[in-house]
């Protein structure tokens, strides 16, 4: 099974774990961040450029070959995603009493 929210287009025969155990999702993600204080006009421009690049046929093909699903969300969406991901894993770490050695 895969731990993405849904089956991967590149491997539709592999079920998503979420199909059997709802809510079990663990994905790897990558994002671009800018230093604090970067003017919003610049972050918007870079975000639009990256989003456009991710939609090109060549990039869609390359990501699909790697089993990846590029999103290309806005700076605000990425900020929300990162905060939610930190909260999700913080609760897992606390519930499991995970400590750094």
Q: Per-residue pLDDT tens for 45-58?
A: 999 999 999 999 99
Answer yes or no: do 67 and 20 share one domain: no
Answer yes or no: do 20 and 51 share one domain: no
Q: For residue 60, what are the CA distances in angstroms to 24, 55, 64, 70? A: 26, 6, 6, 8
Structural domain span for residue 23:
1-30
> How many angstroms separate the CA atoms of 71 and 50, rounded?
10
pLDDT digits (tens, 9 = 90+) for 68-83: 888 888 999 999 999 9
Statement: residue 11 has pLDDT above 90: no
Tokens of 93: 């770490």
Q: Whole-prediction pTM value?
A: 0.74
> What is the CB-side half-sphere exposure of residue 80 using CA atoms within 13 A?
5
The reported pLDDT for the residue numbered 80 is: 95
The reported pLDDT for the residue numbered 23 is: 87
pLDDT class of 94 with cuts at 50, 70, 90: very high
Give how many domains the chain has, as a whole number: 2
């Amino acid at each position: 099974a895969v731990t993405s929210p849904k089956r991967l287009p590149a491997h539709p025969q592999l079920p998503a774990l979420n199909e059997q155990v709802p809510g079990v999702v663990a994905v790897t993600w990558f994002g671009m961040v800018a230093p604090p204080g970067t003017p919003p006009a610049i972050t918007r421009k870079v975000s639009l450029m990256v989003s456009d690049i991710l939609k090109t046929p060549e990039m869609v093909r390359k990501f699909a070959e790697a089993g990846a699903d590029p999103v290309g969300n806005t700076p605000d969406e990425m900020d929300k995603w990162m905060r939610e991901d930190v909260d999700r894993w913080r609760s897992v770490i606390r519930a499991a009493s995970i400590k750094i050695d």
